[in-house]
Structure 1
Amino acid sequence: MTTPPDLNSLDADQLRQLAAQLLAESAEKEKRLHNQQLLNDKLKHELAILKRHHFGESSEALNTHQASLLDELVGADIAAVEMELAGATESTPQPAKRQPKRSPLPPELPRQIIEHEPEHTQCDCGCQLQRIGEDISEKLDYTPGTFTVERHVRGKWACKRCESLTQAPIPPQIIDKGIPTSGLLAHLLIAKYADHLPLYRQERIFTRAGLAISRSTLAEWVGRCGVALQPLVDALREELLQHPVLHADETPVPMLAPGKKKTHRAYIWAYCSTSAATIKAVVYDFAETRVGANARTFLEGWQGKLVCDDYSGYKAGFKQGITEIGCMAHARRKFYDLHAANKSQIAEQALQLIQQLYDIEREAKGLTVAARKQLREQRSKPLLDSLYQWLITHRQKVLNGSATAKAIDYSLKRWQALTRYCGDGGVPIDNNHVENQIRPWALGRSNWLFAGSLRSGQRAAAIMSLIQSAKLNGHDPYAYLKEVMQRLPIHRASAIGELLPHNWAPAAKV
């Protein structure tokens, strides 16, 4: 223990030196105390966020259950590749391929007989055709909750004089020589991509119904459907890029690394029109990385207003004519996390001010674009000006590097982007709409666990784009896919837009 000096024995210069030394020690201790408090606040903030979020397993290696899903993904990819190759080489004669023997459909299933007869039974030579037999093929159909069989009966009509044979054709289908109808294929896709049921689970459901349909066959059907539906998704993307205002967001998806039994992080990018747009659509884009080039490729040639978060991958597009619209919900979230961590009064005040902006937006929801812009200029803009001054004032009072400083800096650095919505009644205040469109992927990850390849991820993104866009337009996605896959094989490519979700209407309502 240090003995304190005898102040009476010190002269004036020594007293001044001692006072300066004590002041320096006190300042140093105060500095260390502030730094320690800063560190504590930061750690509390991070701990609160960690407790509110769920993280995956520390190891990305595939377990036995995950590995069981790989077969169906590979099977679907193979079927898709074969279908694409068939389309590319359909003009070249191909050797006959032996078809595997198919098990008959269970006789106890209800059957709907569909007869295909010629439009007339008069031969070109003038004779009356005589029916000499028929060809019968069966296809498995599905309506929600019920399996049925479509029995297609094609009468054979012959002319005795010229020995000709006449039969009515069966309308082409997505899988011409297979047993599934468009209804069964629609059910398969909805169960896999909307209800998140992997094919091995669907295989069990089919088995309980007495249908011996293997997982590899189901995977082949999925792959062929993905190829057939891709032109629709391409057309949907083209129409989406006609919108002046779009949302964008991205979320990680585990993807199997080629040749390895481990996954790496791939990404689903989502682009959608605003909730107030006349055409409601969302298009997903699957990519192996999160690099900004993915967004630039998807949005190539588009110059509008993009609502997004502060991810750097979008920044290059803002130098190429795209206007950045900030997300007020992200700014609010910074203060919410701060308040949840340590009940910060500054964060609480910020949340109250931002809440007033959202109260105005609720009033503006049913207004026209022009009326909404006028309301924002009259009420939101003065409130935003007050919020900006409030942020500036409190930023000067908090320590650099603190959680409070970071929350305030996020808003101040993006202030121009965050407030642009006031100048356009067609621009939303936040990016929540696209985050809602990302949610089905987050729900599905716990079921299908990973994408087996780049192709399977792209196929999932394409089919999910149609399913989610159908939902946005108020359609039953099963009814939509069923009718679209009925019409697609005979539909003109130049009129593909008629089958897009925002243009489609159920046949009964046309």
Structure 2
Amino acid sequence: MVLPADLDHLDAQALRDLLHQQQRELVWRQTKIDRLTHELALYKRQRYGVRAERLSAEQARLFEETCDADLAAMSAELEALQPEADQAPAAKGQARRRPLPPELPRTEIRHEPESTTCSCGCEMRRIGENVAEKLDYTPGQFTVERHIRGKWVCAECETLVQAPVPAQIIDKGIPTAGLLAQVLIAKYQDHLPLYRQEGIFGRAGLAIPQSTLAQWVGQTGVQLQPLVDALRAELLANPVLHADETPVAMLDPGAGKTPRAYLWSYSLGAFDPIKAVVYDFAKSRAGMHAQAFLGDWRGTLICDDYAGYKALIAQGVIEAGCMAHARRKFFDLTVQGQSQIAVEALDTIGELYAIEREAAELDAEARQRLRQEQARPILERLHGWLLLRRGQVPNGSAIARAIDYSLKRWGALTHYVDDGRVPIDNNWIENQIRPIALGRKNWLFAGSLRAGQRAAAIMSLIQSARLNGHEPFAYLKNVLARLPSQPHSRLGELLPHRWQPSNG
């Protein structure tokens, strides 16, 4: 940014360009502020106004915790957009936070200046201290961190020195990084709603209100979003991606219904040494959501036969099919009853998978050579056999539909033979979406579009940490402790595939 003192060195055109740039930034900032302010007003009316009576007790609890989290997230975003000079000071007479229970165990953490020698050469003396208490949690027990910051003053020149306040995810809040990580892991990995966590915390000695937990979740989600954006950017730099989607119900409090939304999953290739998955929550299964996520990315996409991906293929994305989907069509026929044709198909596809077990240990170039030598002849034989059998079965029969699926998708299903970076199927991403599908049995539905997007972002970090062999709680606790002071240029160090526990 050009400072006023530097303006003398700019020519007229440079000044005009600078003004246009600053004007565009102001318009963008004000547009976002107006949108968030309007959205905030709508959420407040839903949260505190007349609500639909048709919501069940379970839905009502989720609606309240979701609204509280969304309100806190929008407030945090608005505060970040406002210039510091425009931020309103704390109101006088504002209610003070109740002190933490004295019976909780306490650990003192002292912060003192690096030097107590004044700039004038005199030794300072300690005249007092500031104490801030943070609430920490280990499974089953609350503890309190007492952060003590000593005050040192020079007797000669009266210079006052004090260690700075450590940066926190929630400014002036009481939760430690460990407590915030616990709340997020319980909600997004263990799928425990906040009202259940309130009860668990109550048994540990301090019942934290659901509304407070929701505010923490909303504010922490905003702080973690830049890290998720960085993870998405690295994922889109890869030439091979997996994609899949799964339905999730989303609460509509105005109608008292839970319409179907979708959680889209994108991950690096199964053979890529970097392991990462990014989830994207959207209102529908429309292909425009995949186009919006992938943007200008052009590479090989391993996906199923869903029509939503077809626009991407038309725009230059290379499609790779999933042999497991084709195999499943025949397998289902053997489960339902005897089908000799289906059994023959399964046997031949089994030969292809036997080659893949050997290919998995090779690099991309050697894998491609092995496939060309061994898999291609089998695929040619399978293709001829499918054409022959299709002429022998009646139209509309189950076996005809299974054969038609493979013949229609033949180009995509066999693409893997010509590219050693591409796996034979899409099972890799299906395994990454399975924890979400299992979690639906507990959390049932997303409370709002914002809540779904926040869940997708945080679950992206949790699942990526698991893929890289990290314990998710340890990862999130360390990241939340380091994130407030981490330079943006070094944000990549906190991504799950680069994170080092020893740094925290």
Q: TM-score, normalised by structure 2?
A: 0.86
SS in 2 for 1:179: coil
Hey, what's the Cα distance between the residues in 1 that align with 2:367 and 2:305? 25
After TM superposition, the structure 1 = structure 2 runs for residues 51-450 of structure 1, keeping only pairs within 5 Å, are 62-91=55-84, 92-97=86-91, 99-257=94-252, 259-450=254-445
What is the aligned-residue RMSD (CA, Å)? 1.5
SS in 1 for 2:446: coil
Shift of 1:505: 1.0
Instruction: Answer yes or no: is the 8 Å Cα contact 1:62–1:263 preserved in 2.
Output: no
Greater Rg by CA: 1
Hey, what's the Cα distance between the residues in 2 that align with 1:339 and 1:99? 70
SS in 2 for 1:68: helix
Structure 2 counterpart of 1:330, one-letter code: H
Hey, what's the Cα distance between the residues in 1 that align with 2:445 and 2:267? 24
* Superposed CA offset, 1:312-341 (max 9, x none): 000011111110000001001111112222
Hey, what's the Cα distance between the residues in 2 that align with 1:427 and 1:100? 59
Instruction: Answer yes or no: is the 8 Å Cα contact 2:242–2:426 preserved in 1.
Output: yes
Residue in 2 aligned with 1:499?
Answer: 494
Using the TM superposition, name which of 71-80 and 369-378 deviates more. 369-378
Instruction: Answer yes or no: is the 8 Å Cα contact 1:66–1:449 preserved in 2.
Output: no
Shift of 1:68: 1.8
Hey, what's the Cα distance between the residues in 2 that align with 1:263 and 1:104? 40
Hey, what's the Cα distance between the residues in 1 that align with 2:386 and 2:259? 40
Instruction: Answer yes or no: is the 8 Å Cα contact 1:398–1:405 preserved in 2.
Output: yes
5+ unaligned residues in a row in structure 1: which ranges? Answer: 1-60
Shift of 1:441: 1.1
Using the TM superposition, name which of 321-330 and 90-99 deviates more. 90-99
Q: TM-score, normalised by structure 1?
A: 0.85
* Superposed CA offset, 1:175-202 (max 9, x none): 1211111111111111110111111111
Flag the 1:318–1:240 CA change in 2: closer, same or farther, 3 A. same
Hey, what's the Cα distance between the residues in 2 that align with 1:99 and 1:476? 40
* Superposed CA offset, 1:47-84 (max 9, x none): xxxxxxxxxxxxxx743222222111111101100100
Instruction: Answer yes or no: is the 8 Å Cα contact 2:141–2:205 preserved in 1.
Output: no
Instruction: Answer yes or no: is the 8 Å Cα contact 2:262–2:283 preserved in 1.
Output: yes
Residue in 2 aligned with 1:12?
Answer: none
Shift of 1:495: 1.9
Flag the 1:95–1:171 CA change in 2: closer, same or farther, 3 A. closer
Hey, what's the Cα distance between the residues in 1 that align with 2:173 and 2:95? 11
Structure 1 counterpart of 2:245, one-letter code: E
Hey, what's the Cα distance between the residues in 2 that align with 1:307 and 1:177? 46
Hey, what's the Cα distance between the residues in 2 that align with 1:432 and 1:423? 19
Flag the 1:170–1:349 CA change in 2: closer, same or farther, 3 A. same
Shift of 1:440: 1.4
Hey, what's the Cα distance between the residues in 2 that align with 1:248 and 1:161? 68
* Superposed CA offset, 1:389-437 (max 9, x none): 1111111011111111111100000001100101111100000010111
* Higher RCO, 1 vs 2 (CA within 8 Å, ≥6 residues apart): 1
Structure 1 counterpart of 2:466, one-letter code: K
SS in 1 for 2:212: helix
Structure 1 counterpart of 2:456, one-letter code: A
5+ unaligned residues in a row in structure 2: which ranges? Answer: 1-53
Residue in 2 aligned with 1:31?
Answer: none
Instruction: Answer yes or no: is the 8 Å Cα contact 1:79–1:220 preserved in 2.
Output: yes
Hey, what's the Cα distance between the residues in 1 that align with 2:464 and 2:269? 12
Instruction: Answer yes or no: is the 8 Å Cα contact 1:381–1:422 preserved in 2.
Output: yes
Instruction: Answer yes or no: is the 8 Å Cα contact 1:421–1:427 preserved in 2.
Output: yes
Residue in 1 aligned with 2:472?
Answer: 477
Hey, what's the Cα distance between the residues in 1 that align with 2:266 and 2:150? 50
Flag the 1:273–1:94 CA change in 2: closer, same or farther, 3 A. same
* Superposed CA offset, 1:264-319 (max 9, x none): 01111000012220211101111001110111111111111000000000001111
Shift of 1:252: 0.6
Hey, what's the Cα distance between the residues in 2 that align with 1:460 and 1:99? 32
Hey, what's the Cα distance between the residues in 1 that align with 2:73 and 2:297? 30
